[in-house]
Amino acid sequence: MSFREIAVRIDRSLSWVQGRLKILELDTEHQRLIDAKQITMKDVNELWQKQQSRTEKKLKDMKDQGKENYQRQKAARPTRRVRSNNEIRSLIRQMVEQGDFGTTGIVLLNWAIGQVNDAAVNEALGYEVDFNKEEED
């Protein structure tokens, strides 16, 4: 049954029916104030609009957060590219300089065979590695 049909059936306006339904969407405290006639239907409409605005903002924030998570996951996907010897040597040298070689060897091996991307290596190491840095002789 539509709201319009309900309004006709109970001999009320459509806006009256919709207003009463808005009351059901408010929190219990506001419903008690309405029942005690301490706030008016005008107040209900204002409260409902504020609540809708907050809900819409939360949904937008959730959507934005979902996009950020997707971008972060996309960036962390393996590249499946085999690294050049220079890239591997550069990473090993920088890891040894940082004292991290023993704890992150698995990350290095996975990176070298293309199972882990550059961003994942940097995240695992906790510092930015310049993968194309030339070795000094």
| Domain coordinates in residue numbering, the chain | 3-76, 78-137
What's the pTM? 0.36
Instruction: Give the Cα separation of 123 and 78 in Å (integer).
Output: 14
Give the helix, strand, coil percentages of the chain, each rounded to 5.
Answer: 70, 0, 30
83 or 49: whose pLDDT is higher? 49
pLDDT digits (tens, 9 = 90+) for 78-111: 656 677 777 877 776 776 677 655 556 767 777 7
Q: Could you tell me the pLDDT band of residue 57, with boundaries at 50, 70 and 90?
A: confident
pLDDT digits (tens, 9 = 90+) for 77-87: 665 667 777 78
Q: Are 105 and 65 in contact (CB under 8 A)?
A: no
